[in-house]
Amino acid sequence: MSSPAADANDFRSPHVALLPSSGAGHITPFLRLAASLLSQNCRVTLITSHPIVTQAESNLISSFLSSFPQVTEKQFHILPLDPASAASSKDPFFLQWESIRRSLHLLSSILSSLSPPLDAMVSDITLISSTITITKPLKIPNYVLFPSSAKMFSLASYYSVLSESLSDSTKISEIKIPGIGAIPRSSIPPLLLVPESLFATMFKSNSDILRQFDGIIINTFDQLESKTLKALKTGEVAGGLPPLFNVGLIHHDFESKLGFGGEGAEAVSKWLDAQLAKSVVYVSFGSRTALSREQIRELGEGLVKSGYPFLWVMKDKAVDKEDGEKLEGILGAEMMGEVKEKGIVVKEWVDQVDVLRHNSVGGFVSHCGWNSVVEAAWVGVPVLAWPLHGDQRINGEVVEGSGLGFVGGNWGWIGEVLVKGEEIGRRIKDMMEDEGLRLRAGEIRDEVRKVVGETGDDGLKQLIEKWRA
């Protein structure tokens, strides 16, 4: 029997504030963390930054809040950027990260007024150089949530040691990370090789400050990257880092409450129901990546040539509110006809986890945004990796290394190469016909589910124990 003191401790509900940044790929892991914490008897305050960039993010947040009314939302109204800063990047998400970061001094009064007082705050990696300056004086322990792979984190944590040499980016052929190995120039996020870019500047200041935090939460599994996690935890990669918690942020019970279903969700689900088991190719490049029109048409041709039925989520613009063009205008009447015969194409949000876990889905053509990789592992669906920007080649290497999938080919960063339909179709067939790959993906799913169990993995438990102490 446990002692009365231990019992009292078990029932203490730590109060944690969560501060996501912007982009569905950054908000989703925070919502999953929030749901995991609630299931473990924690109090959660979710700080949402307004105005919100995309409709999908607004929908995710509001559907989450109505499913989990126990969560307290604090709306944080951010300041607009001055014209010079607003001109520093064309990426609406990077600009939003920068606006949130520059507004964070206004968050102090919100944090200090929360009741009961906070036991911890969790900040998105993109904001950490500013959140630390507000939590330090308030003596609130601050944790980083890193929403990408542990391998990408090894680059982020090693970066502060080596960034001097990146200033002459033309000379870099690879980055050798102790305990991890070499990241070839071709896999380094391209904007890191442009030291004056907003992304490179943020990345450096955030990497430099990691050691001032109380802990790092990485949304990953040993089953995907055990060697990397070990090298990070033993300090082989970089010294002086705070404790690292790998937490698989995905869970059976609440998963269906996180999505919001697009308008066409019913049509998609009916269509999937009508397909043979494991026959469908699911194609999506995440929430903020739009291929060129030319590349979209080659992809359409590849899908038709593969011979498999497909569900294709198409994006024509990075921000959904600006994505008004009709499918036919993008594909042209002829291709539209061919595509409609073999598959279903949607230009709206689908609940990806619901799609992936449908029995008819047999393969996933993915850009390897990290959430998509974790979701594919969770459902055991093989991945044909087509990394397009940022951390995605590094994530693609993790996909290949773990056996969950393989990288399609030397297909360049987005816009660099026009990948022909013929080749895309061939690689899709390779994925769909590879029995060994399907078995390995299924093994990963089984192992991951065992680790997460009914109540979350050890990483989550250790984290909450720390906050309860």
d(CA 244, CA 317) in angstroms, rounded, equals 36
Query: Quick one: CA dihedral 443, 250, 57, 68, positive or negative?
Result: positive
Q: Exactly one of 64, 68, 146, 282 binds ligand UDP (CB under 6 A); which one? A: 146
Shortest approach of ligand UDP to residue 313 CB, angstroms? Answer: 5
With beta carbons less than 8 A apart as the criterion, state whether 238 and 153 touch: no
β pairing state of 174-177 and 181-184: antiparallel
- Contact between 288 and ligand UDP by CB under 6 A: the answer reads yes
- Measured from the CB atom, the residue of 54 and 119 that comes closer to ligand UDP is 54
Considering 26, 251, 358, 367, which one is annotated as catalytic?
26
358 given a catalytic annotation: no
Q: Exposure string (b/e) for 182-194, b if CB count within 10 Å is 16 or more?
A: ebeeebbbbbbee
Shortest approach of ligand UDP to residue 204 CB, angstroms? Answer: 8
26 given a catalytic annotation: yes
Main-chain phi, psi angles of 353, to 5 degrees: -65, -40
Q: Exactly one of 89, 187, 372, 402 binds ligand UDP (CB under 6 A); which one? A: 372
Shortest approach of ligand UDP to residue 399 CB, angstroms? Answer: 12
Q: Exactly one of 71, 78, 180, 202 binds ligand UDP (CB under 6 A); which one? A: 202
- Contact between 397 and ligand UDP by CB under 6 A: the answer reads no
5-24: which residues touch ligand UDP (CB under 6 A)? 23-24
Of 74-82, 332-340, 364-372, 434-442: span binding ligand UDP (CB under 6 A): 364-372
Of 25-33, 135-143, 214-222, 433-441: span binding ligand UDP (CB under 6 A): 25-33
Q: Exactly one of 122, 125, 244, 272 binds ligand UDP (CB under 6 A); which one? A: 125
d(CA 249, CA 215) in angstroms, rounded, equals 16
Secondary structure element (H or E) that encloses residue 43, with its range = strand 43-50
Place of tokens 């690689």: 427
- Contact between 130 and ligand UDP by CB under 6 A: the answer reads no
Shortest approach of ligand UDP to residue 363 CB, angstroms? Answer: 16
Main-chain phi, psi angles of 316, to 5 degrees: -105, -15
Binding mask 26-65 for ligand UDP (x = CB under 6 A): x-x-------------------------------------
**Going edge to edge, which strands form the sheet with 244-246?**
72-77, 43-50, 15-19, 120-124, 142-146, 215-218, 244-246
Tell which phi-psi region holds residue 332, choosing left (phi > 0), alpha (psi between -120 and 50) or beta.
left
- Measured from the CB atom, the residue of 89 and 306 that comes closer to ligand UDP is 89
Q: Exactly one of 371, 378, 379, 386 binds ligand UDP (CB under 6 A); which one? A: 371
d(CA 134, CA 142) in angstroms, rounded, equals 10
Just list the catalytic residues.
26, 124
